[in-house]
Structures are given as C-alpha cells and as structure tokens.
Amino acid sequence: MQHLLRGFAVIVIACVVAAGASGAARAADDYPNHPVRLYVGYPPGGTVDICARIIGQYLSEHLQQQFVIENKPGAGNNLATEIAVRSAPDGYTLFLANPANAINATLYKNLSFNFIADMAPVAGIIRVPNVMEVNPNVPAKTVAEFIAYAKANPGKVNLASSGIGTSVHLSGALFMMMTGVDLIHVPYRGAAPALTDMMGGQVQVMFDNLPSSIAYIRAGRLRALGVTTADRNPALPDVPSVGETVKGYEAVAFFGLTAPAGTPRSAIDKLNKTVNEALADPAMKAKLAELGGELIPGTPEDFGKLVASETAKWAPVVKATGAAAE
C-alpha cells in the first residue's frame, strides 16, 4: 500500500511540475497581456523621447499591447531611472537608457542605485552623434572660428545642454577642456526647452543629440559647425567632424531598452527579438536613419557591454572636467 501511495505521490508531483512549466510557457507566450510603461527621463521632443516613441509604436503594433511613454524629467535623468529601478521586475516597466546613465555613475556621488547592477539590458537601438550648433546670429561659421570667437569673448558665450550629466553637457565640457575656451553652462530640463532658447538667441551654442536638432539645422534655424563622431555623418555630409579641427575629439550617444534587474528572461528575450526585428524592418530602418545614427542590433548582453564600456569611458572625462552634481 505504501508503495502505491509513494507512486501516486510521484505522479502528483510530476503533474504539478509539468503544470507549472506549462503555465510558465503560457505566461511567456502571453507576454505582454496588459500595457507596458516605458519611462523616459526627459520632456517630449528630445532625442530620448523621439527614440522611445519610435520603438514604442513598433512594439505596440507587433506585440498587441500599448507601450505607454511616461516622461519623467528631473535630476539629470535620475528621477525616471530611480522609478524604473524601484518598479516590479515583471516585464511591464521598461526604461530608455541613454548616455546620462553612463555619465551619472561618476557625476553623482550619492545615487541610490547602481544602474549596471540594478537594471537589466534588453536591447540596443541606435547610436548617434551629437552636433555642435550655434544660433545663426553667432558670427562663427566653422569650429575654428567659434574657438576664436569664444576666446575673444570669455565668459560671455552660453553653452546650453539638456541637463547636467547628459552627453550634451559632457560633450561641451570635453570641448572646453580640449580647446581652453570659457563657456557658461546653462542646463535645461531636456533638449526641447534648450533648443527653444537656442533659436531665440538666449544661449549661443549647444552640442545636441543630432536627432532632436537636425530638422532645425535643415530649416536654417540653427547652424551646424561639426558632428562629434570621428567621421562625418551621412545625414549632414557637408558638416565636418569637430575632430577635424580639435584633434582627438569624439563623443557618441547611445540609446536602448532596459528593465529592472530580475525581469523574467522570457520577457527580455521576447522584447529583444521584437526590437531586433524593428531594426531590420525597411520602414523602421528608414525612419531611424532620419535620426542620423547607427543602428545597434544584438543580444541583451551586447547592449549590456556597451553600457558598461560607455560608463568606463566617461568616468575620466567627468573627473578631468571637474563636473559634479549632488
């Protein structure tokens, strides 16, 4: 009798395990079964927001659930990051990682999170140059002319950025460090308000992410002096790289999806697969190409390595410029 009971118990346990595995498989197949929030650390209109909305629309259409963009600007991108870090790791909270996450690791001394440890990489999307641009009333037409103009007007030229710790800020700080020019940093809560004041003449120069500025450059409302990649960019073929004048200068911005650490691998893999499909889709490739960047498909691990390498790259720049934030 005991033998029969033991046999029955084994069968019951096997059935429970099988049912659990089947349920997990169904859960993975069913993901997502309700709307997903995608947090953005900047206001609408900037490059991070543009990128989030392009990829969010594709995910919504192809995963049959709404991917809701939540703009939470503040604290140099840290407000949205912390909300994402503290969210349940269930696949229903995502975050649009950007250069500030790599820079802030060194820039801020008292962060309550470790981005690399507390967020799981999901998928890379695009890597874009910044563009050194000026208000058309600034007399400089080239990088060299701007350096001369700034040195002739020390402390009188305002450098706009989308916030302390952004790649826009640090690209300008790196430029000052390498050229010796004295610019007054004016941080904004995102690219959109900074660009408004750029075009209004309240600030004179900015090293903005190319996607949020390219339309204004093409319309003649801003003048591009140089791109921050080592080579010229196909979106602005007549604009030289800053490095052609300032030897060794280079700065690139990256964007991709992350989720709270502990998010089920099944959800991460499904999102990664869909993002990579987006990056291979001709219509999406054309749309993203308009942003003037390089697509970065790959595994979650590939994107994780990129975030880690950018974090290591910017650390000495932050320290050398003396930039700091609390």
> Within a 10 A sphere around the Cβ of 189, how many other Cβ atoms?
17
Where in the chain does DSSP place strands (E)? 36-40, 67-71, 93-97, 119-134, 158-161, 184-187, 205-209, 223-227, 252-260, 294-295
CA dist 209 → 217, 238, 252, 255, 307 (Å): 12, 18, 9, 11, 17
Per-residue pLDDT, 8 = 44
Distance from C-alpha of 237 to C-alpha of 305, rounded to nearest angstrom = 30
The two domains 29-128+253-321 and 129-244 share their CATH topology (first three levels equal): yes
**CATH number listed for the domain at residues 129-244:** 3.40.190.10
Domain ranges of the chain: 29-128+253-321, 129-244
Per-residue pLDDT, 202 = 97
Q: Which residues is 205 bridged to in the sheet? A: 134, 159
What pLDDT tens digit does each residue of the chain (326 aa) get? Answer: 554 445 444 444 444 444 444 444 445 579 999 999 999 999 998 889 999 999 999 999 999 999 999 999 998 899 999 999 999 999 999 999 999 999 999 999 899 999 999 999 999 999 989 999 999 999 999 999 999 999 999 999 999 998 887 889 999 999 999 999 999 999 998 899 999 999 999 999 999 999 899 999 999 999 999 999 989 998 899 999 999 999 999 998 899 999 999 999 999 999 999 999 999 999 999 888 878 888 999 999 999 999 999 999 999 889 887 777 76
Per-residue pLDDT, 290 = 79
Note whether 171 and 102 are within 8 A (CB). no
> Within a 10 A sphere around the Cβ of 137, how many other Cβ atoms?
8
Q: Which residues contact 278 (CB under 8 A, 6 or more apart)?
A: 55, 58, 59, 62, 284
CA 274 to chain centre: 18
Per-residue pLDDT, 105 = 95
Per-residue pLDDT, 19 = 46
* DSSP string for 16-48: HHHHHHHHHHHHHHH--SS-EEEEESS-TTSHH
Distance from C-alpha of 132 to C-alpha of 227, rounded to nearest angstrom = 6
Note whether 303 and 275 are within 8 A (CB). no
Tell if the pTM clears 0.85, that is, is over it: no
**CATH number listed for the domain at residues 29-128+253-321:** 3.40.190.150
CA dist 186 → 144, 160, 162, 173, 293 (Å): 22, 5, 9, 12, 26
Tallying the residues shown for the chain, one arrives at 326
Per-residue pLDDT, 288 = 85
The answer to whether the bond into 139 is cis (omega within 30° of 0) is: no
Distance from C-alpha of 151 to C-alpha of 267, rounded to nearest angstrom = 53
